[in-house]
Amino acid sequence: MRARPVSRLRSLERARRVLAGLSGWIEPSGDGYALRAGPDRRSRVVLTVDEAVFRRLVESPGLRARRGGGWVARRAGTNVPAGAPGRPGMIEGERAVMGADGEASVRRANLAQTPVTWLARRVGPDGRPWLEPAEVAAAVRLALEAEAALRGASITMRWDALPRTGAGGGARHGREPGDRALAAAAAVEAALCACGPARAMVEHICVRASALQAAEQSLGLRRRTGKMLLRQGLQALARHYRLG
């Protein structure tokens, strides 16, 4: 039962060695993050790490956006301590976000800080984390599925134009890129439906990448009530994904 932390520590050490190389970089992949030691996606994945290890890499060596997607070490060949000068906890990059009108657009964003990661670092009066690891993992999975749904022929496609669960024609042999995007859209719709009354809040935070206060204002909620609704939604989402 104690082997997992040791394995995670070894993964962290190896990931830092990969990123220390001049061609080392990391990108989202499924439920985790893939590290490559080559110049592009034709290079093989040498290691896959989970969200916890990725957050440690954000702290040290620090990450910055890579041209072509993913991230590289803030300083190639060195480990930058978490308290180094600059902008700690910042991963500058771009994220596809959904506007209130359903139109997708690409905006600059701090990829290291979301309402979910912010809440995950906080504890309640009983000393327990505000969000359980399974709830955080569910939020990450939904966000990745939403990004996959937006990787269609055009980044300007409308979310409300995508087919809902149960819609669509007959089965086809093979999977085209558009097929994968539509399958991801159906998965997102099913996941959001599982959130029940908290659907709108979860959608604003995990799909549209809204700030917590902005989501509260958009939904007409009182200040500080959004995080309670978000937690309820993430609990339902974790059950939907059978996490925890």
Question: Residue 64's pLDDT is what?
Answer: 83
Question: Residue 70's pLDDT is what?
Answer: 85
Question: Residue 196's pLDDT is what?
Answer: 95
205-239 core/surface letters (b: 16 or more CB in 10 A; e: else) = bbbbbbebeebbeeeebeeeebbebbbbbbbbbbe
Structure tokens at 9: 């520590």
What's the one-letter identity of residue 7?
Answer: S
How far from each other are the two terminal CA atoms of the chain, in whole angstroms? 16
Question: Residue 71's pLDDT is what?
Answer: 87
Q: What is the DSSP letter of 35?
A: E
| Alpha-helical runs (H) found in 21-75 | 51-59
Total number of residues shown for the chain = 244
Burial class of 130 by CB neighbour count within 10 A (0 to 12, 13 to 18, 19+): middle
Question: Residue 87's pLDDT is what?
Answer: 45
Question: Residue 67's pLDDT is what?
Answer: 79
Question: Residue 236's pLDDT is what?
Answer: 96
Q: Give the Cα separation of 230 and 136 in Å (integer).
A: 11
Q: Strands, DSSP E only, in 69-215?
A: 71-73, 92-98, 104-110
The CB-based long-range contact list for 150-156 (8 Å cut-off, 24+ gap) reads 150/96, 150/104, 150/181, 151/177, 151/180, 151/181, 151/184, 152/177, 152/178, 152/181, 152/182, 153/178, 155/96, 155/104, 155/105, 155/106, 156/103, 156/104, 156/105
Q: Give the Cα separation of 37 and 51 in Å (integer).
A: 20
Judge whether 58 and 91 are in contact, CB under 8 Å.
yes
* pLDDT mean values, one per 10 residues, the chain (244 residues): 55 89 87 87 88 81 82 61 43 54 56 73 81 88 81 44 41 54 87 95 87 88 90 95 84
Closest to 203 measured CA to CA, from 139, 130, 112 = 139
Q: For residue 225, what are the CA distances in angstroms to 20, 118, 212, 215? A: 43, 15, 10, 11
Question: Residue 243's pLDDT is what?
Answer: 84
Query: Strand, helix or coil at 2?
Result: coil
Sign of the torsion angle spanned by Cα atoms 72, 74, 75, 79: negative
Question: Residue 77's pLDDT is what?
Answer: 42
Judge whether 216 and 225 are in contact, CB under 8 Å.
yes
